[in-house]
Amino acid sequence: MSTPHKKTIDLGTHQLKFESGKIARQADGAVLLSVNDTLILGTACTTPDPLEDVDFVPLRVDYIEKFSSAGKTVGGFFKREGRPTQREVLTCRLIDRPIRPLILEGYTHDTQIITQVLSYDETYSTEPFAICAASAALALSSVPLVHPVGAVRVGYIDGQFVVNPTLVEQKKSTLDLMLAGTEEAILMIEGFCELLTEAQVLEAIAVGHKAIQLICRGISEWQREIGKPKNLETLKRIPEELLSCLRSEFNDELKSALKI
């Protein structure tokens, strides 16, 4: 068995501990992310050959929670867990939203990201960690992800901004802000607040982005150490001659159309 590779990112109040090479080794990229006793497995799988007659990224994202991760079983007569819950579907969308635009245009290999909660200690909400696990798995894989993605939840408690507040702290928070982005920019903002000023919300975004930058730098360093070479050979690129022709012929018209 190969030696597991580990990476720890310290966010102050807690640490994100990434590990790869221990399980799911047949996946193109696989990462175990642990935060205290919460453990999330993120995997990225892609087909060896590109799909024909496809002009989009054929990406599927799944997020899976099981009662067993918290040491529980399903109540009632039927013990089998059924279709994805609303929370699982919404978390899939949170993962998909910042990651899909960062896969290089022209990559048409059928790709699937699965994040599964293996253990849950009921301390933190899992959404930002699932995004980080998916991003790290893609970063280590051959899928051409332009930049790693990081994600955090920001709360506002007793006049202080808190990165990834616990579930108990969230009940006292007047802000629930989910952020995802790269080292350079914020890609996704979702949340709500109770009568905070615009300046306070902007400060919350800045605080969250600092934590995201730490996560992205850590994943980038890890990628340089153990990541697979990116698959750039099969990208379906638009011929440069065609792009030059379109720019010269329609550049002004497109600019004016975008201003409508």
The answer to whether 180 and 86 have CB atoms below 8 angstroms apart is no
Tell the burial category of 12 from Cβ atoms under 10 Å away from its Cβ (0-12, 13-18, 19+).
Answer: exposed
Task: For domain 5-258, give its CATH number from 3.40.1050.10, 1.10.10.10, 3.40.50.970, 3.30.230.70.
Answer: 3.30.230.70
* DSSP one-letter code for 24: -
The two most distant CA atoms of the chain are separated, in Å, by 67
* DSSP one-letter code for 233: T
Q: How confident is the model at residue 252 (pLDDT cuts 50, 70, 90)?
A: confident
Residue 77: pLDDT over 70? no
Tell the burial category of 183 from Cβ atoms under 10 Å away from its Cβ (0-12, 13-18, 19+).
Answer: middle
With a pLDDT cut of 90, the percent of the chain lying above it is 68
Domain ranges of the chain: 5-258
As a whole number, mean pLDDT of residues 247-260 equals 81
User: Rounded to an integer, what distance in angstroms lies between the CA atom of residue 255 and that of residue 66?
Assistant: 49
Q: Helix, strand, or coil here: 163?
A: strand
The answer to whether 40 and 32 have CB atoms below 8 angstroms apart is yes
User: Rounded to an integer, what distance in angstroms lies between the CA atom of residue 117 and that of residue 70?
Assistant: 9
As a whole number, mean pLDDT of residues 181-207 equals 93
Q: Helix, strand, or coil here: 91?
A: helix
Tell me the per-residue pLDDT of 28-43, one tens digit each, with 9 for 90 and over: 999 999 999 999 999 9
Give the pTM. 0.88
